[in-house]
Amino acid sequence: MAIATGAAIGAPIDRLEGAEKVAGAAKYAYEYDVERAAYAIGGCSTIAKGRIRAIDTDEALAAEGVLAVLWHENAPKLHEQLDDGELMLFQSNRVAYRGQLVAVVIAESLEAAQEAERLLRVEYDVEDHDVELRADHPRLYKPEKVNPQFPTDTFDGVFDDAFAAAPVQVDRTYETPAYHNNPLEPHTTVASWQGDAVTLWDSNQGVQPVVETVAKAFGLEQDRVRVISQHVGGGFGSKGTPRPNVIAAIMASQLVGRPVKLAVTRQQMFAYVGYRTPTIQRLRLGAEPDGTLVAIAHDVWEQTSTVREFAEQTAVVTRMMYAAPHRRTTHRLVALDVPTPSWMRAPGECPGMYALESAIDELAVELGVDPIELRVRNEPELDPESGQRFSSRNVVACLREGAERFGWSERRGPGERQEGRWLVGLGVAASTYPARRRPSQALARAEADGTFAVRLRAADIGTGARTALAQIAADTLEVPVERVRLELGDSEFPQAPLAGGSMGLASWGSAIVKACRALRVADGDEVRVDTSDDVGGDPPLAKHGFGAQFVEVRVDVDTGEVRIPRALGVFACGTIVNPKTARSQFLGGMTMGISMALHEESVLDARFGDFVNHDLAQYEIAAHADVRDLEAIWLAEDDPHVNPMGAKGIGEIGIVGTAAAVTSAIYNATGVRIRKLPVRLEQLLAAGSAPPAGHSAPE
Report the interface residues with ligand MOS, using CB under 6 A. Answer: 205, 237, 240, 343-345, 347, 500-501, 652
- CA nearest to 681, candidates 563, 595, 567: 563
Task: Kindly tell me which of 240 and 654 has the beta carbon lying closer to ligand MOS.
Answer: 240
In the three-class reduction of DSSP (H, G, I as helix; E, B as strand; rest coil), residue 69 is classed as strand
Cβ-contact 404, 645 below 8 angstroms: no
Q: Which of 115, 385, 601, 652 is catalytic?
A: 652
What is the enclosing helix (H) or strand (E) of 164?
helix 159-165
Q: How far is the CB of 567 from ligand MOS (least distance, A)?
A: 22
Q: Give the residues across from 240 on adjacent strands.
A: none
Peptide bond into 259 cis (omega under 30): no
Task: Kindly tell me which of 500 and 588 has the beta carbon lying closer to ligand MOS.
Answer: 500
Q: Give the residues across from 123 on adjacent strands.
A: 54
Cβ-contact 357, 174 below 8 angstroms: no
Cβ-contact 636, 571 below 8 angstroms: no
Task: Kindly tell me which of 276 and 328 has the beta carbon lying closer to ligand MOS.
Answer: 276
Residue 118's Cα: distance from chain center in Å? 33
Task: Kindly tell me which of 499 and 576 has the beta carbon lying closer to ligand MOS.
Answer: 499
d(CA 519, CA 523) in angstroms, rounded, equals 8
Q: How far is the CB of 29 from ligand MOS (least distance, A)?
A: 18
Task: Kindly tell me which of 43 and 274 has the beta carbon lying closer to ligand MOS.
Answer: 274
Q: How far is the CB of 589 from ligand MOS (least distance, A)?
A: 11
CB neighbourhood size of 368 (10 A): 9
In the chain, the amino acid numbered 683 is Q
Radius of gyration of the chain (CA): 26
Q: How far is the CB of 239 from ligand MOS (least distance, A)?
A: 8
Task: Kindly tell me which of 635 and 647 has the beta carbon lying closer to ligand MOS.
Answer: 647
Residue nearest to ligand MOS (CB): 237
Three-class DSSP labels, 415-459: CCCEECCEEEEEEEEEEEEECCCCCCEEEEEECCCCCEEEECCCC
Task: Kindly tell me which of 425 and 500 has the beta carbon lying closer to ligand MOS.
Answer: 500
d(CA 395, CA 65) in angstroms, rounded, equals 60
Task: Kindly tell me which of 489 and 500 has the beta carbon lying closer to ligand MOS.
Answer: 500
Peptide bond into 148 cis (omega under 30): yes
d(CA 591, CA 597) in angstroms, rounded, equals 10
121-152: b (≥16 Cβ within 10 Å) or e: ebebeeeebbbebeeebeebeebeebbeebeb
In the residue annotation, 478 being an active-site residue is answered as no
Q: What are residue 549's phi and psi, to 5 degrees?
A: -110, 125
Q: How far is the CB of 509 from ligand MOS (least distance, A)?
A: 17
Task: Kindly tell me which of 500 and 560 has the beta carbon lying closer to ligand MOS.
Answer: 500
Q: Give the residues across from 121 on adjacent strands.
A: 56
Q: How far is the CB of 436 from ligand MOS (least distance, A)?
A: 11
Q: How far is the CB of 504 from ligand MOS (least distance, A)?
A: 9
In the three-class reduction of DSSP (H, G, I as helix; E, B as strand; rest coil), residue 86 is classed as helix
Q: How far is the CB of 169 from ligand MOS (least distance, A)?
A: 34
Q: How far is the CB of 402 from ligand MOS (least distance, A)?
A: 25
Cβ-contact 510, 437 below 8 angstroms: yes
Cite the active site residues.
652
